[in-house]
């Protein structure tokens, strides 16, 4: 069914612009809540709804026009001083932006959106008439994507799925839904149910924007024209150098080579090498996007969740201008949503508890990003109750995740990292780590897929910090090249601590397994041949001390061929276990890039 036949291109352009406008409106609304009399913000938000309404009118998206027109009128009265902004009115406005976002989901499938819920239209009309906003004794609530029904559990648990979808634009997996909180949350309104028979959910369209419309991954990118000009200029210079090399090659083949010709050839090859590196860097910059485009979604998420939980939380953004590979931005969304949700729900206390502890009633959660060398650091910091390492250790022992002997040898940082283990959670509501482990293993897995790591620090009574370290890009990967027989294999350099020489007298057998002592640390020795299922050779001359998560071990091989920065070619149609991708060596040899974590899991399994 296509309600906009012949207008698909116009629709895509509208959604691109309107989605950015709506995200900006959401961001400005967060600021308006702090300074309700700011006329500049009121004007910007008014113009945002007016522009969206105009585009929707051109496309004859009637229900979207109706909703935007009512909200536009509301802001016209606010900026003219005819209405006063309060908490109830703010909830209604946020519900309207959530419904607009849902309508974008239908438009992305070239379908007319349903009318906005009757309770939301009634609330907007009541606000325009300066009446008390109340529909059937209920407050307006954020409208989730059809056909989701927003409801609460018996203990007043927030509707995570509806909240997640309304703000972020995608459905949270059922496995990530957290356990119910102990105390009843602030009153949560219910959205009138939409029956599945009345609404057909939009089908994913991989060619559409994912972030706002609920389709597949976003395959588009906005690039500064200066960066494209740089790529074009470098391409032109490479073409000129290629012509020069062709001319020199002809001279050499025809026997007209002399010292001057050979020197010119050497200079041209060096120039080509420099230009290719510059072009590679310029192309990489076209993939880089400000992380603020991702961060700007989260203040709204934190605000809505805090309101449902009866908490006063402000999410502060830092380093929004930091640039990161666009593909990584998309894959970071779910882990960051989960960490922010945990910080608001489980990390910070409610106002009464904070005041009793001598803290300000308002909690601060800081989400920041910065570049350090060739890595990006993302931090989520809360000023809540913190986590106690000894409580986490005891819970891990109780759940059988580690033994008492292993637990006693862990320092505080290693103990806090236990919350990242699959199956770790705590339902002891009076403990300082209530609910912290629910789904955290999923966060860790997603971060490791990006060749990143996560470190946790916490101070009881003061708060917790989660630090995510990521490479600048996934397209180019620094690797160490290992040799096994006559074949080369690549392992990510980020996992390598050092390279060691191995001799038979260095190896010791412990419980039937090879080990090696490195500066007093007993480490297992795993032959590369064993990991990939090859027949093991009698001796290995090289050992690579590797760190994968909390596990350290020595990977033994026949030799190594240095390190390199390689371009990863993915294996989309056929991907053997333990292979992250392939690349080509300078000698033209195909080299497999190994997924060490997957290989280790395979050996343990």
Euclidean distance between CA atoms 261 and 269, whole angstroms: 12
Euclidean distance between CA atoms 364 and 340, whole angstroms: 11
Residue 439 pLDDT grade (very low, low, confident, very high; cuts 50, 70, 90): low
**With 80 as the cut, is the pLDDT of residue 374 above it?**
no
Range of the domain at 502: 476-604
Q: What is the pLDDT of residue 133?
A: 72
Looking at the structure of the chain, the number of domains it has is 4
Contact predicate 561/479, CB 8 Å: no
Is 163 among the domain residues? no
Distance between first and last Cα of the chain: 48
SS3 253: helix
Is 109 among the domain residues? yes
Q: What is the pLDDT of residue 550?
A: 66
Euclidean distance between CA atoms 317 and 21, whole angstroms: 19
Rg over alpha carbons for the chain, rounded to the nearest Å, is: 29
CA 127 to chain centre: 37
Closest alpha carbon to 26 in 317, 266, 277: 317
Residue 147 pLDDT grade (very low, low, confident, very high; cuts 50, 70, 90): very low
Statement to judge: residues 443 and 532 lie in one domain? no
**With 90 as the cut, is the pLDDT of residue 103 above it?**
yes
Statement to judge: residues 442 and 491 lie in one domain? no
Q: What is the pLDDT of residue 167?
A: 47
Q: Which residues contact 337 (CB under 8 A, 6 or more apart)?
A: 164, 168, 172, 298, 301
Q: What is the pLDDT of residue 430?
A: 36
Euclidean distance between CA atoms 85 and 94, whole angstroms: 13
Statement to judge: residues 14 and 122 lie in one domain? yes
Per-residue model confidence as pLDDT tens digits over 333-351? 889 999 999 899 889 999 9
Per-residue model confidence as pLDDT tens digits over 177-232? 444 333 333 333 333 333 333 333 344 343 334 444 344 456 677 788 888 899 99
Q: What percent of the chain has pLDDT over 70?
A: 81
Kindly report the number of other CB atoms within 10 A of residue 588's CB atom: 6
Statement to judge: residues 19 and 137 lie in one domain? yes
Q: What is the pLDDT of residue 530?
A: 85
Statement to judge: residues 21 and 122 lie in one domain? yes
Q: What is the pLDDT of residue 155?
A: 53
Sign of CA dihedral 220, 226, 227, 229: positive
Mean pLDDT of 262-287: 87
Statement to judge: residues 332 and 461 lie in one domain? yes
Statement to judge: residues 340 and 463 lie in one domain? yes
Mean pLDDT of 387-400: 88
Euclidean distance between CA atoms 259 and 243, whole angstroms: 20
User: Phi-psi category of 265—alpha, beta or left, where left has phi over 0 and alpha has psi -120 to 50?
Assistant: alpha
Is 131 among the domain residues? yes
Statement to judge: residues 464 and 331 lie in one domain? yes
Looking at every residue in the chain, the average pLDDT score rounds to 79
Contact predicate 103/214, CB 8 Å: no
Bridge-based pairing state of the strands 496-501 and 507-510? unpaired
Mean pLDDT of 411-439: 64
The single-letter DSSP state of residue 135 is: B
Q: What is the pLDDT of residue 162?
A: 52
The mean-pLDDT minimum among 18-22, 134-138, 234-238 falls in 134-138
SS3 113: coil
Residue 175 pLDDT grade (very low, low, confident, very high; cuts 50, 70, 90): very low
Is 197 among the domain residues? no
**With 50 as the cut, is the pLDDT of residue 135 above it?**
no
Mean pLDDT of 574-580: 77
Q: How many helices (H) and strands (E) does the chain have?
A: 19, 18
**Is the whole model's pTM more than 0.85, yes or no?**
no
């Amino acid at each position: 069914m296509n309600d906009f036949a012949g207008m698909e291109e116009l629709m895509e352009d509208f959604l691109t612009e309107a989605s950015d406008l709506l995200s900006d409106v959401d961001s400005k609304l967060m600021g308006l809540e702090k300074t309700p009399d700011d006329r500049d913000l009121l004007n910007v938000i008014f113009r945002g709804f007016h522009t969206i309404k105009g585009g929707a009118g051109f496309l004859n998206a009637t229900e979207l026009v109706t909703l935007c027109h009512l909200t536009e009128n509301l802001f016209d009265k606010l900026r003219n001083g005819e209405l006063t902004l309060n908490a109830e009115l703010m909830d209604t406005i946020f519900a309207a932006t959530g419904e607009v976002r849902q309508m974008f989901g239908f438009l992305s499938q070239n379908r007319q959106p349903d009318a906005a819920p009757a309770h939301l239209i009634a609330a907007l009309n009541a606000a325009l008439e300066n009446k008390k906003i109340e529909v059937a004794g209920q407050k307006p609530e954020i409208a989730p994507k059809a056909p989701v029904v927003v409801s609460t559990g018996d203990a007043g648990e927030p509707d995570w799925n509806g909240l997640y979808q309304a703000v972020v634009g995608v459905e949270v997996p059922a496995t990530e839904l957290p356990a119910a909180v102990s105390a009843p949350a602030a009153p949560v309104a219910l959205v009138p149910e939409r029956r599945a028979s009345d609404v057909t959910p939009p089908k994913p369209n991989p060619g559409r924007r994912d972030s706002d419309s609920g389709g597949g991954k976003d395959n588009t990118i906005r690039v500064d024209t200066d960066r494209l000009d740089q790529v074009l200029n470098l391409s032109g210079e490479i073409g000129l150098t290629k012509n020069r090399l062709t001319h020199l090659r002809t001279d050499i083949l025809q026997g007209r080579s002399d010292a001057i010709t050979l020197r010119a050839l050497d200079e041209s090859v060096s120039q080509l090498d420099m230009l290719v590196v510059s072009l590679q860097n310029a192309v990489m910059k076209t993939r880089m996007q400000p992380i603020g485009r991702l961060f700007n979604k989260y203040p709204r998420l934190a605000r809505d969740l805090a309101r449902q939980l009866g908490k006063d939380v402000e999410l502060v953004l830092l380093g929004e201008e930091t640039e990161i590979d666009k593909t990584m931005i998309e894959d970071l969304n779910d882990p960051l949503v989960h960490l922010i949700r945990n910080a608001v729900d489980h990390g910070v206390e409610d106002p009464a508890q904070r005041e009793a502890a001598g803290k300000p009633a308002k909690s601060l959660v800081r989400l920041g990003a910065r570049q350090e060398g060739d890595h990006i650091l993302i931090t989520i910091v809360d000023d809540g109750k913190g986590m106690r390492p000894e409580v986490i250790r005891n819970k891990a022992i109780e759940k059988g995740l580690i033994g008492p002997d292993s637990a006693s040898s862990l320092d505080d940082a290693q103990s806090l990292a236990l919350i990242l283990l699959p199956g770790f959670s705590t339902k002891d509501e009076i403990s300082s780590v209530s609910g912290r482990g629910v789904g955290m293993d999923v966060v860790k897995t997603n971060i490791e897929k990006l060749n990143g790591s996560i470190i946790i620090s916490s101070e009881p009574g003061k708060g917790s910090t989660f630090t995510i370290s990521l490479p600048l890009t996934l397209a180019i990967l620094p690797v160490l090249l290992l040799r096994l027989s006559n074949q080369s294999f690549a392992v990510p350099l980020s996992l390598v601590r050092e390279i060691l020489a191995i001799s038979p007298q260095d190896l010791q057998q412990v419980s039937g397994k090879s080990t090696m002592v490195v500066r007093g640390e007993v480490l297992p020795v795993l032959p590369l041949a064993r990991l990939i299922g090859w027949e093991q050779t009698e001796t290995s001359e090289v050992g690579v001390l590797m760190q994968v998560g909390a596990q350290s071990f020595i990977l033994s091989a026949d030799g190594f061929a240095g390190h390199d920065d390689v371009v990863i070619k993915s294996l989309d149609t056929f991907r053997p276990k333990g292979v992250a991708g392939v690349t080509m060596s300078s000698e033209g040899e195909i080299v497999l890039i190994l997924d060490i974590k997957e290989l280790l899991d395979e050996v343990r399994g």
